[in-house]
Amino acid sequence: MAAVLLGALTTHLTNYTLQRSRHKHDYSVRWDARKLDAYEGYVDAVRSCVFLAVHLYELREGIRESEQGEREVHAEMSAAGHHRGRAFERIMLLAGDDVIEAAHEVNAVALTIDWQATGRLTGSLEDWRARNRAVFGAINAFHDAARQDLGVSGSVRGAHHPERDLLLPPSQRSA
């Protein structure tokens, strides 16, 4: 009788431990999926803002011709900035400290691009390019922090992935 009781108790404890472990794993995977969506959405929102700022800057500086006027691009840029803010709030809700700090750095550098594109901050073409290099460097640091938070091995920087410069058409490289 004692052996049957001990067997039943052992079976119950084993099942309980396995179920708890499975539940903990499912919970972790669910939050990792949400984090990945938030991280991807945030980077996408930042890149959209940068590309719109580039469009506006090039229109203002006479580097690019466009069917859209400055006012239209500025309105799109403003809407994209609101989207970036909402995406950042998801980071604040889901991410760890290192990812949040990396996102704050991305925001700080991205805003300097917005400000130069809209004329609130003055600077030369070389300043503009330096700000663009800085934002993409900050995005790479964000990627590294996000990968670490998600438990993804590797890095987007380092010996295997050397520093890359802005890709510019030949006509704009020395301008």
More confident residue, 15 or 62: 62
- For 92-141, give the DSSP string: HHH--HHHHHHHHHHHHHHHHHHHHHHTSS---HHHHHHHHHHHHHHHHH
pLDDT of residue 165: 61
Task: Give the residues across from 158 on adjacent strands.
Answer: 161
Q: What is the pLDDT of residues 1-55, one digit of tens each?
A: 888 777 887 887 787 777 777 767 555 556 788 999 999 999 999 999 999 999 9
pLDDT greater at residue 18 or residue 122: 122
Residues 127-164 pLDDT 10s: 999 999 999 999 999 999 999 999 888 776 655 555 55
Q: What is the pTM of this model?
A: 0.76
Each residue's pLDDT tens digit, 99-108: 999 999 999 9
Q: What is the pLDDT of residue 107?
A: 97
Can you give the residue ranges of every domain in the chain?
Answer: 54-165
Burial letters 76-102, b for 16+ CB under 10 A, else e = bbeebbebbeebbebbeebbeeebbeb
pLDDT of residue 173: 56
